[in-house]
Structure 1
Amino acid sequence: MSKIVLLVIALVVLGGVAAAYWSYRQAVEETERAVAAIVGRAQTPLGAFQPSMVSDLPEVAQRYFNHAIKPGTPLQTTVQLQMDGKFLLGDRQEYQTYDMTAYQVLAPPSEFVWVPSMRSGLLRITGSDALVEGEGWTRFWINSLVPVVNQGASPDLNRSALTRAAMEAIWVPASLLPENGAAWEQTGPNTARVTFSTGVEPVGITLAVDGKVVEIVSMRWSNENADKVFRLQRFGGAVEAEASFGGYTIPSRVKMGNHYGTENYLPFFQVAVTEAQYL
Structure 2
Amino acid sequence: MWKLVLLALALLAVAVVAAAYWSYRQASSAAEQAFVAIGSHAQTEPDAYDPSMVADLPEVAQRYFSHAIEIGTPLHTTVQLQMQGQFLLGSPQDHQTYAMTARQILAPPSEFVWIPTLRSGLIRITGSDALVEGEGWTRFWINSLVPVVNEYASADLNRSALTRAAMEAIWAPASLLPSNGVEWSQTGVNSARVTFPTGIEPIDMTLGPNGAVTEIFSMRWSNENAQKSFRLQPFGGTVEAEARFAGFTIPSRVKMGNHYGTEDYLPFFQAEVTDAKFQ
Aligned to 1:6: 6
1:149-168 pair list within 5 angstroms: 149-168=149-168
1:179-258 pair list within 5 angstroms: 179-198=179-198, 201-210=199-208, 211-258=211-258
Secondary structure class of the residue paired with 2:251: strand
Contact 1:254 1:271 (C-alpha < 8 Å) held by counterparts: yes
Contact 1:253 1:271 (C-alpha < 8 Å) held by counterparts: yes
1:61-100 pair list within 5 angstroms: 61-100=61-100
Contact 1:166 1:203 (C-alpha < 8 Å) held by counterparts: no
After superposition, give the CA deviation of every residue in 1:73-92 in whole Å (9 maximum; x if it has no partner): 00000000000000000111
Tell me the CA shift for residue 45 of structure 1: 4.1
Structure 1 stretches of 5 or more lacking a match?
A: none
Secondary structure class of the residue paired with 1:226: coil
Contact 1:182 1:194 (C-alpha < 8 Å) held by counterparts: yes
1:243 and 1:202 map into 2 onto residues whose CA distance is 28
| Number of aligned residues | 277
State, as a whole percentage, how many aligned pairs show the same letter: 71
Aligned residues: CA RMSD: 0.9
Greater shift in the superposed pair: 155-164 or 47-56: 47-56
2:123 and 2:234 map into 1 onto residues whose CA distance is 31
Contact 2:201 2:220 (C-alpha < 8 Å) held by counterparts: no
1:76 and 1:181 map into 2 onto residues whose CA distance is 15
Tell me the CA shift for residue 5 of structure 1: 1.6
Aligned to 2:135: 135
1:46 and 1:36 map into 2 onto residues whose CA distance is 20
1:45 and 1:150 map into 2 onto residues whose CA distance is 38
Say whether residues 1:116 and 2:121 are aligned partners: no
Structure 2 stretches of 5 or more lacking a match?
A: none
The one-letter code matched in structure 2 to 1:92 is P
Greater shift in the superposed pair: 43-52 or 124-133: 43-52
Secondary structure class of the residue paired with 1:228: coil
1:262-277 pair list within 5 angstroms: 262-277=262-277
Tell me the CA shift for residue 203 of structure 1: 3.3
After superposition, give the CA deviation of every residue in 1:168-219 in whole Å (9 maximum; x if it has no partner): 0000000000011110000000000000012xx2431000011100000000
Secondary structure class of the residue paired with 2:149: strand
Contact 2:205 2:213 (C-alpha < 8 Å) held by counterparts: yes
Q: What stretches of structure 1 move > 6 A for 4+ residues in a row?
A: none
The one-letter code matched in structure 1 to 2:254 is V
The one-letter code matched in structure 1 to 2:203 is I
1:184 and 1:106 map into 2 onto residues whose CA distance is 21
2:170 and 2:148 map into 1 onto residues whose CA distance is 29
Contact 1:197 1:203 (C-alpha < 8 Å) held by counterparts: no
Contact 2:162 2:200 (C-alpha < 8 Å) held by counterparts: no
2:200 and 2:147 map into 1 onto residues whose CA distance is 33
2:45 and 2:142 map into 1 onto residues whose CA distance is 40
1:256 and 1:226 map into 2 onto residues whose CA distance is 19
The one-letter code matched in structure 1 to 2:162 is L
The one-letter code matched in structure 1 to 2:201 is V
The one-letter code matched in structure 2 to 1:236 is G
After superposition, give the CA deviation of every residue in 1:74-132 in whole Å (9 maximum; x if it has no partner): 00000000000000001112111000000000000000000000000000000000000
